Structure 1
């Protein structure tokens, strides 16, 4: 038992609204949250240079620069870009489309279900069986709003564009949460974002994006969505003035611009290598990786996942329980991808705990 670290109950691990940052305790080696450790120096410099502007309201040219950066990156019209106070705001704004029947492709990030349930719409949870391949036939035909993640959190499953496009039909809006898409890489070609719909933006599709994960900016809420202009008009009717602050606008323009994308290119390659290394270590340890991962996190399944999580905490590691995700359970844990040394330390600790449990069960038999 680590001195000074109080025991915690597992009851809140099953709460649908629980977020992984609850596990990111000071002093623990962090595998619970999928945010990069901190913003790169060039982003810090841009933000620091704007601190003197905080006495004024955000300027129109800051908005235009950020919108223009997103439009150029995805080869869209500026009229198809809506800046967001964090990607989570995009899910809140979906209620303005007045959906009657929402289909949530599960397991997935819990925030869309939470905010859309409050809108009064009928909610159908389309729970995909492992390994969580998308099947349009499972979605109710009268669903006029379908929400899914790509890659999906926490499974790390990456659906193909073709699979997603089978969801599209007249009278339906398909919302794709691409919060982690910028770090996906085709394993054969090395092309980044191989399944993203941001550049194509088919009719009836809304893409929600974030910069906070890749650039270590979770404390600075900043994201954007891509949609047809008439959809953006519905989403923004009556929206407050200055929904984004000056620093968020500056961060968006920089992260979506040339320097930010060069950084993302390099990071995507690093993450792919680190993820392959982690998966290899888990395989050698006999720990089940649930599906081929495509995101900067890996889903595993172990006996007594909550017990393993607690034991790892006492050994100085934070991992994410997936007990509160629809379609998963207490035996599922999500591990953020980290560099080789902490990954090896984590797997060694997991192996030690699991071996001890197996030995204990053997003595009990």
Structure 2
């Protein structure tokens, strides 16, 4: 990182509610974890009396199988954000430019700036369609799929085409797939042929899908010279033994993943219909929904929910959003409590068929200094 940028830099806001008495709908994590995790963690904790194998062969093999690539392309990292930082560190120098989506995760711009580089904001869906002439002016382009906070996933063919244009422009493409595991869409690690496209970096997070955000486990996927750079640059013992063991175990739980996807899809449709009676709710492929509260006060909506014991996400910190909240998709009982707190529970019983399919307005990113966030 660039020393001056570290001095000038700031933290960015994220979801996650510290008050344990509140039901947290501000963070997009699975409320369930796979059976058997406790035992795996306890066994790994005893093994943690010695340093882990820095090659992480089991973790690499299972992670590679999960996304559909070769094990030697996997770079273990302590969470998806660590993979993002590693990729940005390997790609950008002071003064370089990076194409960053909005509204989207705030750490992209922050990490770019920490390298002394300059983020150039482009609406997230326009970024996927960015032409070669635009890409030629940047060293890095970032895509989040499904995008956070809007929830829509990029078309795999469009991503592959973007990777081709990035290669022609000499631009590295970083694809953040933190929430892709909640869908059945293929990873860019599979869609983009790593043997021919060595300019693509995929960042994956395990902890959201498996309900263990405090474990900090994830990985990057890359090929060729970029892969070698990431492997050399990653920290020694990138994953603690518990994170590596539990992560590998979770990635093998196919039934848990399938059940989670079914539950999220079903509950997301129900919530979108119910919330759509009060708000303008964006379509989503992710375990969260972006709601435009319209003329209502965002502060009042958030405070009213808190008074009823539920924390929802203030989405105004995302660049381009000024009247939005974001809510996670949890289990049915918790979701009903959230609907009640937002005065939308009665709508949940209404038969579907008149589902709101509108999307709230997303402003031009130049209109606000707000940054995207998790």
Q: Under TM normalisation by the shorter chain, which class is it?
A: 0.7 to 0.9
Partner of 1:333: 325
**RMSD between aligned residues:** 2.2
2-structure distance, mates of 1:140, 1:17:
26
1:338 match: secondary structure: coil
Alpha-carbon distance, 1:88 to partner: 0.8
* Alpha-carbon distance in 2 for matches of 1:140, 1:229: 21
Aligned equivalent of 1:299: 290
Note the alpha carbon deviations across 1:224-259, whole angstroms, 9 max, x for none.
1111132121123344321211011102211222xx
Take 2:338 and 2:316, find their aligned partners in 1: how far apart are those partners? 20
Q: Partner of 2:116 in structure 1? A: 120
The aligned counterpart of 1:50 is 44
1:218-229 mapped onto 2 (5 Å cutoff): 218-229=213-224
Q: 2:153 aligns with which of 155, 158, 161?
A: 158
CA gap of 1:239–1:30, structure 2 versus 1, over 3 A, is closer
User: What is the CA–CA distance in structure 2 between the aligned matches of 1:134 and 1:236, rounded to whole Å?
Assistant: 27
Report if aligned partners of 1:24, 1:32 keep a CA contact under 8 Å in 2: no
1:1-365 alignment runs, 5 A limit: 17-21=12-16, 23-60=17-54, 63-93=56-86, 94-98=88-92, 100-128=96-124, 134-137=128-131, 139-168=134-163, 169=166, 170=168, 171-184=170-183, 192-194=184-186, 196-202=187-193, 203=197, 204-257=199-252, 260-283=253-276, 285-289=277-281, 291-302=282-293, 303-329=296-322, 331-351=323-343
Partners of 2:143 and 2:81 lie apart in 1 by 14
Instruction: Write the distance in 2 (CA, Å) between the matches of 1:110 and 1:310.
Output: 23
Q: What's the TM-score, normalizing by structure 2?
A: 0.80
Contact 1:151 1:295 in 2 (8 A): yes
- Cα distance in 2 for residues equivalent to 1:36 and 1:128: 25
Instruction: Give the conservation status (yes or no) of the 8 Å contact 1:103–1:143.
Output: yes
Does structure 2 conserve the Cα–Cα contact (< 8 Å) formed by 1:319 and 1:333? Answer: yes
Instruction: Give how far 1:86 is off.
Output: 0.9
For 1:139 and 1:223, the matched residues in 2 are separated by 31
Alpha-carbon shift at residue 351 of structure 1 (Å): 2.6
Distance 1:200 1:134, change over 3 A: closer
The change in CA–CA distance for 1:314 and 1:216 in structure 2 (over 3 A counts) is: same
Name structure 1 gaps, 5 residues minimum: 1-14, 185-191, 354-365
3-state SS of paired residue (1:334): strand
**Would the aligned equivalents of 2:127 and 2:143 in 1 still touch at CA under 8 Å?**
no
Assess if the C-alpha contact under 8 Å between 1:85 and 1:222 holds in 2: yes
* SS of alignment partner, residue 100 of structure 2: strand
Structure 1 residues 287-336: Cα deviation after superposition (integer angstroms, max 9, x where no partner): 210x211000000010211221011111111000111111212x111100
d(CA) in 2 for partners of 1:128, 1:101: 17
Unaligned runs of 5+ in 2: 1-9, 346-374
Distance 2:179 2:343 in 1: 29
Q: CA deviation at 1:38?
A: 4.8
- Per the alignment, in what secondary structure is the counterpart of residue 173 of structure 2? strand
Distance in 2 separating the partners of 1:172 and 1:235: 16
The SS at the match of 2:26 is coil
